[in-house]
Copies of this chain bind each other. A is one copy, B any other.
Amino acid sequence: MKKSFIEVKENSHFPIQNLPYGVFCPKTSGTPRVGAAIGEFVLDLSVIEDAGLFNIPELQGKEIFNQPTLNAFMEMGRNVWSAVRKRMQTLLSEVEPTLRDNAALRKQAFYLQKEVEMLLPVDIGDYTDFYASKEHAMNVGMMFRGKENALMPNWLNLPVGYHGRASSIVVSGTDVRRPLGQMKPKESNNPTFGPSLRFDFELEMGWFIGPGNELGKPISVDEAENHIFGLALVNDWSARDIQAWEYQPLGPFLGKNFATSISPWIVPLEALEPFRTAGPKPEVEQLPYLQQSQKSSFDIQLEVHLKGEKMESPQRICESNFRHLYWSMAQQIAHHTVGGCNLRTGDLLASGTISGPTPEARGSLLELTWGGTEPLQMNNGEQRNWLEDGDELTLTAWCQGDGYRIGFGEVTGCVLPALEYSKA
């Protein structure tokens, strides 16, 4: 097994097999630049670039990593990504002296992760959120429409999706304020205004588009993965009461657009190859543009942890897996573009809540507490129907290899109390 001269603990998310990309800024001083995570360190790729150590023709004479976002790198495509990754693995290898034995360069090129600030790594043009977990769609459908009509008639035929809000995507660690809004309590004839009382998270994963497609030129399902730069964790915060009142007939709007949090590290699709697996079998015959010829899911373990202000430590409240998703990333991309819609470098597509077949695999409080009727029991005696002010919510994910993990780090956020409001 490949090893780095940088020490990497066995449970670390960031061994030499992973090398996810992010954008960081040293806490002391300096400008944002691109880095890769290795163990407890960040490798500053702008330093490697400056030192001329990449030796990749496509990068010659360009500043690809001394950039405040990953977009310039993302648009270069799969061959360049692969060459950069291979070169990083060589430079970080325990048997390669170039970086290992150059103390001055090492000092320049490595930062401890705790000494840097991680920034939003991508300039995101459009954000699309799907609804690709059958278990999630079933759970929500049962609560809203009963068991018989749980799945909408279209659900098994196409990956349902909608356009989300790009401006309010924030990086892990950003506090999220409980939104104010309109809602209509069941017992009232009129809507009321105030802080959301059914504040929720959604356990999702997202993937970023590398090279896009021209308007009017669809991406086929078999080509789709060539357009995926990498994956990150996504928490699509949701205000269920605002959403329930507003969403007919045009879909979620203010119930979702106040914040979406993403993890700072983007794991390259190539790093996930050893964990490729088949997703669920189609339950109805799919139209040809959605039929895929290869295994197109990945075995990625997912967890959600909640820590209330009065709790001493976080408590795991959900365990799920990416492979439960009924619709693959490739199918979602093929569907998104089949009518001609163009994807651009940096666009974010997310899966929707990833629930699984067991009760602990439900990826939102809406499902875990069954609409707020079956409270979660917390380890300090408290209960949770919905998120409370001060709650810190953390998603994490990893692929378990033999003696190593390909991890996604985490996406975390703390719930701030709603703004005071005078006009209500």
Looking at chain A's contact residues, the main secondary structure is: loop
B216 adjacent to A177 (CB under 8 Å): yes
Give bound CA distance, A279 to B162, whole Å: 31
On chain B, the residues within 8 Å of A259 by CB distance are 215, 340
B258 adjacent to A181 (CB under 8 Å): no
On chain B, the residues within 8 Å of A360 by CB distance are none
Interface of chain A residues 196 through 223 with chain B (CB within 8 A): 196, 212, 215-216, 218, 220
Q: Known: A167-B344, A288-B424. Is A254-B338 also a contact (CB below 8 A)?
A: yes
Copies of chain A in the complex: 2
Minimum C-beta distance from A326 to chain B (A): 15
Interface of chain A residues 154 through 189 with chain B (CB within 8 A): 154, 157-158, 160-168, 170, 177, 179-182, 184
Give bound CA distance, A154 to B190, whole Å: 9
B347 adjacent to A257 (CB under 8 Å): no
Minimum C-beta distance from A56 to chain B (A): 29
A250 adjacent to B252 (CB under 8 Å): yes
Minimum C-beta distance from A132 to chain B (A): 12
A161 adjacent to B253 (CB under 8 Å): yes
B246 adjacent to A154 (CB under 8 Å): yes
**Is A342 part of the contact surface with B, judged by Cβ < 8 Å?**
yes
One digit per residue, 1 when the CB lies within 8 angstroms of any chain B CB and 0 when it does not, for chain A 241-253 equals 0100111111111
Q: Known: A165-B126, A289-B423. Is A191-B253 also a contact (CB below 8 A)?
A: no
User: Can you offer 6 A-B residue contacts whose CB atoms are under 8 A?
Assistant: A154-B246, A193-B288, A193-B289, A250-B252, A254-B341, A287-B424
Q: Which 8 pairs between the two chains have the least Cβ-Cβ distance?
A: A251-B251, A179-B339, A162-B250, A288-B423, A163-B163, A258-B340, A250-B251, A257-B341
